[in-house]
Amino acid sequence: MNFKNKVILAPLAAVNNIAFRKICTDYGADIVYSQMIDSHAFLMGNRRMADFFDEENLVAQFFGNDAKVIAKCAKEISGKVQGVDLNLGCPHSDVVKRKCGSYLMKYPKRIALIIDKLVKAVDVDVTVKIRAGYDKNHINAVKIAKLCEKCGVSAIAVHGRARTVNYSVPVEHSIIKKVKDAVDIPVIGNGDIFNGRDAADMIEKTGCDSVMVARGAMGNPAVFNEIKCYLDGKGIKEISKKKIFLKFLKYCKKYEIEFKDIKTQAQWLTKGIKHGSKYRLLMNDAENVKELEKAYMKID
């Protein structure tokens, strides 16, 4: 899988179901990551987050801290995806309390053990997603990146904040640049990319090979089209949220997405439109897809 010159959908927990990945792909995402999948739950039979279908650009992301468990998960799904990613960046307290996600940034030897088994278990690309460090006093992204490269990963995504740094603090491009300068594998820049200008800034300031969009895609899957047009120097054509929603809804019906998930994403799609709060209130009262669609058709 080529991780250079790509615009990528980041793994977003409770967001990246198959319908959302499809709509992001339609609007220009070159590579899409799955939702963050709990490796232990997966082996116990909980496959809700592992909704893999006919996708040619999918990387499945697992979190956990047991090398054997993660490797077994990866081996089981390797024929359905083009890559497997190890989550070393999730900052959420419930994940960190389980000694997973960004917690592992503090334990390089554990990371090396997991990646070694993961790479040996599958024939597809193995990637990792990390943060700048566990906290602002322990910034070790370069060390972890070099370790991951040595263990055989194909690419590394770097979020330019430490685990304990709030999103109100701007992403540190300098950290991503240091990682890029330290390794030979593709580096994917992640953090604060909401439009084409942000993506261009990330590339210019870090030298990264590709960009990864997270929060910027929530409620705006057409951001991938905007980024590509901006980077290519082309005019950006505005795409109506109503058109996006109707297309998204078709995928939801095709893949039998649960109504509560459809409703949540439909409300996100009203972000930025005129009188968006009014339409969100209408959607709150919707009890099924038909009522939700009726509310959406009232948007100007």
- Catalytically active residues, by annotation: 90
Please return the burial class of 93, using the count of CB atoms within 10 Å of its CB with bins 0-12, 13-18 and 19+: exposed
Instruction: Report whether 90 contacts 64 (CB < 8 A).
Output: no
C-alpha of 227 from chain center: 16
Phi, psi of 34 (to 5 degrees): -75, 175
Distances (CA, A) of 201 to 5, 171, 174, 194: 14, 11, 12, 11
Instruction: Report whether 28 contacts 8 (CB < 8 A).
Output: no
